[in-house]
Amino acid sequence: MTSHPRTWHIHNLNLVAEECIISLGALTVQDGVIAAIHEHVGTPEVAAFADAADVVIDGEGGYLLPGFIDMHVHGGHGADFMDATPQAYDTITRYHAGHGTTGMLATTMTAPQADIEAVLDCAARYREAEMPYAQLLGVHLEGPFISPRWPGAQNPAHISPPRPQWLAQWQRQWPDLIRQVTLAPEAEGALPFVAALHEAGIIAAAGHTDADYDTIVEAVRHGLSQAVHTFNAMTPLHHRQPGTAGAVLTTDAICAELIADGLHVHPAVIALLARVKPPEQLVLITDAMSAAGLGDGQYALGGLDVTVRSGEARLTQGGNLAGSTLTMIGAIRYMHRVVGVSLPDASRMASGNPARRLGIDGHTGSIAVGKRADLVWASPELEVRRTWVGGRSVTEG
């Protein structure tokens, strides 16, 4: 990691704001906060900001984006959040910070209660200390309250119906730590459980679900508000049976997670999703597993063997897709270059929208004066050059 200058100034790059790109602008950070955004460089005022800065950086014609927030990520560079150690969490947050992520939800797998509680305890302790890389914003429980008909890469041996008593215990022991719970809304007792999540301020998300259209619509009335890795591990769209996918497409209250890697969803279907969802109701995620950043080989996910070939992760037995090796900057590039989404829109899906979902958009998620300097400097080819969290560089360079 590099030092943390009190004031720094970056110029000669394109600032990706929520609605537009400020061409060849500049930005000044003071005490970890965005102090000024400069659209008209070369003026005495901008020169004064640069002269007063401790460090001045030439952006070399690249881009400055708000830091990415990954609401669904399992691991990276050989580590998994289920490892439940500070060393593993350092490895994951360091790796993804190197690809532009400044905040994330530690995402679990379907597992025994004790293993899930080990993650909750480790995440709580990790958040109490100074987090040196990307910040853990909380925990996303992906299971165990899912459908045995749609396990995906989750271990079916540990699938459970909703357990309100577990949630109550976890909330008492680790208050405000759980930010999202993935579940199958059709399970017995799921709708009251969704309502309890909503009442507690926890995102209730449909995933690994056999629910039909009507069940999802009813779950929304109880507080369901998100769909997990949309189109994957859910009942598909059919013109007479719209299924979970049809409910996600047509219900504005549902925010759709998307793995934009060209493997999980065809680009034409991604384009359809982007057209029909309200602009604030689509979030990019990685669903990255421990193999991210390490190349092809044999790995494990939730106790199941995974084979990675050409960057594609699948269960060794059965062949189901098993998370991904995607990074957030990779998702941005795919959305922009392949799907044709504008860079400000892709950036909003990776930063502003997840920040709003988590209720932290008042201080992060976009480039604006007064917000925390969670920023990504990328080359003109959209390769990450440096990442800052609260104005502090968390990557080499």
Catalytic positions, written as ranges: 287
Burial 118-157 (b: 16+ CB within 10 A, else e): bbbebbbebbeeebebbbbbbbbbbbbbbbeebbbbbbee
**Per-position DSSP letters for 140-151, written without gaps between them:** EEE-SSS-TT--
Tell which residue, 265, 246, 293, 273, has the closest CA to residue 77: 293
Give a three-class secondary structure readout of 96-107.
Answer: HHCCCEEEEEEE
157 annotated among ligand-binding-site residues: no
153 annotated among ligand-binding-site residues: yes
Q: Which residue has the tokens 């000044």?
A: 28
378 annotated among ligand-binding-site residues: no
Helix axes 243-250, 213-222, angle to 10 degrees: 50
Q: Which amino acid is at 365?
A: G
Q: Classify 243 in phi/psi space as left (phi over 0), alpha (psi -120 to 50) or beta.
A: left
232 annotated among ligand-binding-site residues: yes
266 annotated among ligand-binding-site residues: no
291 annotated among ligand-binding-site residues: no
322 annotated among ligand-binding-site residues: yes
Q: How far apart are CA 266 and CA 54, in angstroms?
A: 47
Q: Who contacts 231 (Cβ-Cβ below 8 Å, separation ≥6)?
A: 245, 264, 265, 269
Does residue 136 contact residue 123 with C-beta atoms inside 8 Å? yes
Q: How far apart are CA 273 and CA 59, in angstroms?
A: 34
Measured CA distances, 80 to 74, 269, 302, 323 (Å): 6, 30, 9, 12
264 annotated among ligand-binding-site residues: yes
| Binding-site residues for Zn(2+) | 142, 208, 229
| Binding-site residues | 142, 153, 208, 229, 232-233, 240, 264, 321-323
| Binding-site residues for substrate | 153, 232-233, 240, 264, 321-323
